[in-house]
Amino acid sequence: MPGRPRSWLFRVAFAAAALLRPEQLARPLAARPVPRPRSQAPGSLKCFLGALKMELTEVTGVSLKRGSHAVEDNDSVAPAEEAKRQKVLDSCLTTGQDGLEHVSLPGSVHVPGPPAAVSAREGGKNSDVQLEEEEEEEEDGLSEEGEEEEEAESFADMMKHGLTELDVGITKFVSCHQGFSGILKERYSDFVVHEIGKDGQISHLDDLSVPVDEEDPSEDVFTVLTAEEKQRLEELQLFKNKETSVAIEVIEDTKEKRTIIHQAIKSLFPGLETKTEDREGKKYIVAYHAAGKKALANPRKHSWPKSRGSYCHFVLYKENKDTMDAINVLSKYLRVKPNIFSYMGTKDKRAITVQEIAVLKITAQRLAHLNKCLMNFKLGNFSYQKNPLKLGELQGNHFTVVLRNITGTDDQVQKAMNSLKEIGFINYYGMQRFGTTAVPTYQVGRAILQNSWTEVMDLILKPRSGAEKGYLVKCREEWAKTKDPAAALRKLPVKRCVEGQLLRGLSKYGMKNIVSAFGIIPRNNRLMYIHSYQSYVWNNMVSKRIEEYGLKPVPGDLVLKGATATYIDEEDVNNYSIHDVVMPLPGFDVIYPKHKISEAYREMLTADNLDIDNMRHKIRDYSLSGAYRKIIIRPQNVSWEVVAYDDPKIPLFNTDVDNLEGKPPPVFASEGKYRALKMDFSLPPSTYATMAIREVLKVDTSIKNQTQLNTTWLR
């Protein structure tokens, strides 16, 4: 074909080739096995693109995860040991990227959608020390089905408009070791999160047995009904047709057979009641709704033994699913509403995670049956208890992270990990907190606090540079051209994204009532914006605090005594370490340090047209009470090892499921083509694992920077 190829397909292929390493380019694509989604026919265009995307993921992926959440065990440190640490801190304080030798780090090729909320927890109302006031969930809500194929930019071009760490105040390091390169693979199996429960124990899936309960139905309940009967019963249960009942003929008319059918219907289809009827000399089991449409949401009280706790607690092992997605899947298969599930914290998608879940009046037997029909899920460690779980009850999370293809020497790794163990890392809010598009979430939050509702609307809906789904681009273009919310809404195939919800609100309430229109967006998603602004201020102020005073407590710093913040006096300064110092997130119910940083807070908020002395908003939801957050976190249970390997696709440690299946742990050769750093550590709630990894590698964790490093490395 003469001339330069203009097709978007060729451009994507070109970008793909640019991201492959020379040795991988030399290997034929056919020699690199790529999973193919079942919906894609061999040889189809989508099949090719799916394979291309999977190959890129395998070769270049860096998925720096969003921090998960856990509690720091502040062990007391002997004065001599603390003095030794302080001496190291004083000599090692580094700023920004100064003096770092950056070896290129192959970066992520994510193409994220709209700003996404960062998972956070609420551990109790009105608590001074609580970081988060609401659980915040990612809600893109967009389906890729039916998405039009658009001309693609190169990955570097798509991410060049994103944020860097400098943009959100992440500029300091606490350690003096030399940074090195490593790949945190896009493969979720290199990032494993185990929840730490309220008893301080790390959750593991290690028992698939079902508690013995004489009142449980037999296993026959899962096989006694035909597929057609199950389909009819499900349609009845979910009010999908006008039938008021479903009759099932009893072929082998025995009391035992009738009992099993009764049990099967009641167990598998909550909300349905059954009775036996004689019709023309034949026995039928008739299923019908016990209590109208409410029956689906509320399991029948009379069918649950009084001696058994109302909640079945279990450990959920999941791969590549976030917590809410997982619960939606479980509720769909159990035919119940998601709100009967409870948990202590949400876990991210791009990982293997293990956490405790509780569900109201669903038997362990039914839950265990899901292990036979669900992929990438495993349920076990069942028990019946009286109470559900509550958000924020967890003590933290334990991480197992693999950094592959590291360039650091054994001595560099040793110094970096010893520093992480002894000193810790700056407790910055990670990049995920601020969104991944050209309009950061903190800018929207600032406009909300300023009561600038037209700006809020414009920031969310205006056209933006960078990577977005095609229909979002068309929606924004329509909005910019017409300012007609209904016309812009018609460009969205799915309306559950923030943009769709706001446009729906504007259609309903009109352009003169943006406040009510914005209120259609779920509360957690709205609060995510103002929490993002608080985080932005906190990051910047902590960087200034460390730049001004270093890594030791000074008079005027704040520490917590119980739930109350107090100042460090001159005579008490030696009684504290940097690990005791907290800094406030701005709000009406916090105090600020009594030194230069107090004025820095005031200057920053004044520059943003906000009054630090009046953080109450005329709309109560947007009034910020503030909170306190430790500036340095020292991870607990830190361990590490450097291993050699040849195959970049093999797992480097066993998961809980591997151990249940009796798989032997990986055996490593003394030498290999690549080296990997396997890290284990525990973090408190609302701290970011990416910030701990940043301190080890000394790299910018933003997607923008990873992509730029990638393209620089390939030149």
The set of catalytic residues is 348
Q: Which of 99, 89, 87, 93 is nearest to 173 (CA)?
A: 93
* Backbone dihedral angles phi then psi of residue 217, each to the nearest 5 degrees: -70, 165
Q: Which of 373, 379, 377 is nearest to 358 (CA)?
A: 379
Q: Is 278 exposed, middle or buried (0-12, 13-18, 19+ CB in 10 A)?
A: exposed
Q: How far apart are CA 647 and CA 644, in angstroms?
A: 10
* Pair of tokens at residue 423: 């000193």
* Pair of tokens at residue 552: 């030791």
The type of residue at 5 is P
What does 175-195 look like in DSSP terms, one character per residue?
--SPP---B-BSSGGGEEEEE
Residue 14's contacts (CB-CB under 8 Å, 6 or more residues apart) are 154
Instruction: Please give the radius of gyration of the chain, using alpha carbons only, rounded to the nearest integer.
Output: 28
Alpha carbon of 335 to those of 295, 311, 358, 385: distances in Å?
A: 11, 17, 16, 22
Residue 398's contacts (CB-CB under 8 Å, 6 or more residues apart) are 70, 193, 194, 195, 196, 202, 637, 680, 681, 682
* Pair of tokens at residue 544: 């200034």
Confirm if 73 and 37 have CB atoms less than 8 A apart. no
Q: CB 73: neighbour CB atoms within 10 A? A: 14
Q: Is 47 exposed, middle or buried (0-12, 13-18, 19+ CB in 10 A)?
A: middle
Sign of CA dihedral 513, 518, 522, 528: negative
The type of residue at 76 is S
Q: Which of 499, 523, 518, 497 is nearest to 508 (CA)?
A: 518
Q: At what angle do helices 470-482 and 498-509 cross, to 10 degrees?
A: 30
* Pair of tokens at residue 262: 């009764």
Q: Which of 417, 343, 426, 430 is nearest to 637 (CA)?
A: 417
Question: β-pairing, 425-426 with 352-360?
Answer: unpaired
Q: How far apart are CA 205 and CA 354, in angstroms?
A: 7
Region of 124 please: left (phi>0), alpha (psi -120 to 50) or beta. Answer: left
Tracing tokens 């669903």 back to the chain, one arrives at 362
Q: Which of 63, 119, 182 is nearest to 697 (CA)?
A: 182
Q: Which of 486, 531, 471, 488 is nearest to 140 (CA)?
A: 471
Question: β-pairing, 558-561 with 581-585?
Answer: antiparallel
Residue 380's contacts (CB-CB under 8 Å, 6 or more residues apart) are 205, 206, 207, 208, 209, 314, 315, 317, 368, 371, 660
Report the side by side order of strands in the sheet with 558-561: 564-567, 558-561, 581-585, 627-630
Confirm if 686 and 120 have CB atoms less than 8 A apart. yes
Sign of CA dihedral 546, 547, 553, 559: negative
Confirm if 698 and 101 have CB atoms less than 8 A apart. no
Tracing tokens 């030798």 back to the chain, one arrives at 101
